[in-house]
Amino acid sequence: MLKYSLLLIAAYSLVLKCDAQIRGYAKKEAFPNTLEHESKGWYFDPGITLQITRPGERTEEINGLNYSFDSKGKIGPYFGVGRYKILKNWMFFKYWDYGLSYKWFRGEEHLTIEGAKQPTSAFSDMAGGLTTNLVNVINLGKYSFLQNGFGINVDYQFRQSRTPLAGPNDPDRITAQLHYKLGVGLWVGQRLIVVPSVEFPILGATPKLIDPTFTYFDSWYEPLLISLRIMLVSPKKDVCPPVYAPGLPENFTPDGMD
């Protein structure tokens, strides 16, 4: 339900963007513009990973025996670093970013057979990857904005740990996914924007992983990323304030500030 709720918010925000542009009442956006700021900059993404899985226990009858599975997702560290570029005249999208990421996926599964508890199965995978996003921005106020966008991530699990043994359906070392990201941007001073964000996969990008979830042992897990994006903004030097001629329309905005 969380996934579909966030996608609904994304669709609604795009409608608001279109409506504002059509009516011509969109105010100057809080997001940096290319008239006053450099179009490129660095970002840093410290955060955590959380494995979302089926709540509660599930039971199955296998070969006449009652099996009970109880899967648990755990928190792991996450960090990303990369560059962003402000876009002009790209329809809904305000900026594009690309970078590197580190993720640590953790979780466990508790198995009971005919009421007898079995040893706990656990996984602990570390992955390095590439990620890129196209991001839409909706103005919320003078110093705040809502951002949402779609992207692709390709990850290589350079460390895979299983206790006691790996399952037959465990994910490959290389995975690729289409993901959705939602966040709220807030200015902190004149050169810094922080964006609390949440990211989750919506579709696998390999034949084996059309479903965005990962299977470990006998349970599914979906990686959720929660981060605090830090965007470094560089104001342009010796920029004259925009001049609005009296004869121009009321809603005219200089190039680079839309």
Record the pTM: 0.80
Q: Is 92 in contact with 136 (CB distance < 8 Å)?
A: yes
Q: Whole-angstrom Cα distance, residue 41 to residue 97?
A: 9
Name the β-bridge partners of 235: 37
List the domains of the chain with CATH numbers. Answer: 2-232 (2.40.160.20)
How far is CA 114 from each of CA 64, 121, 167, 184, 219, rounded to the nearest angstrom? 10, 18, 21, 48, 19
- Tens place of pLDDT per residue across the chain (258 aa): 455 555 555 565 665 555 455 444 446 678 998 888 899 999 999 999 999 998 878 888 788 888 888 899 999 999 999 999 999 877 789 999 999 999 999 999 988 888 888 888 899 999 999 999 999 999 999 899 999 999 999 999 999 998 887 666 788 899 999 999 999 999 998 899 999 999 999 988 766 667 788 888 888 899 999 999 999 999 987 655 555 455 555 555 555 555
